[in-house]
């Protein structure tokens, strides 16, 4: 299977989970939280997803001639 296709599917799947969990989190925090707080929580959730996907993405992009990751 094409590594590019797999990475795109994996990112889309992770984004759907992030959005779902972020919505749950923000709704529990209430309507009165500031835009800055919402943005901060969103930024942190993006960072978590990116860190979790970094290793698998490198592995999928590796063509076998690269040094071990």
pLDDT, one tens digit per residue, over 13-56 is: 999 999 999 999 999 999 999 999 999 999 999 999 999 999 99
Residues in the chain: 69
Q: How many CB atoms lie within 10 A of CB 58?
A: 12
Alpha helix ranges (H) inside the chain? 3-29, 35-61
pTM across the whole model: 0.78
**pLDDT of 11:** 95
In a domain, 68, yes or no: no
- Spatial contact of 52 and 14, defined as CB atoms under 8 Å apart: yes
**pLDDT of 66:** 60
In a domain, 69, yes or no: no
The answer to which of 4-8, 27-31, 38-42, 60-64 has the lowest mean pLDDT is: 60-64
The average pLDDT across 49-68 equals 83
Q: How many CB atoms lie within 10 A of CB 24?
A: 10
Query: How many structural domains are present in the chain?
Result: 1
User: Is the pLDDT reported for residue 67 higher than 80?
Assistant: no
- Parent domain of 43: 3-61
In a domain, 57, yes or no: yes
DSSP state of 67: P
Measured CA to CA, the distance from residue 62 to residue 69 in angstroms comes to: 9
């Amino acid at each position: 299977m094409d590594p590019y296709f797999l990475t795109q599917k994996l990112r889309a799947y992770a984004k759907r989970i992030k959005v779902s969990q972020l919505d749950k989190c923000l709704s529990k925090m209430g309507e009165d939280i500031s835009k800055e707080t919402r943005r901060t929580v969103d930024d942190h959730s993006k960072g978590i997803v990116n860190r979790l996907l970094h290793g698998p993405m490198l592995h999928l992009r590796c063509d076998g001639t690269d040094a071990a990751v």
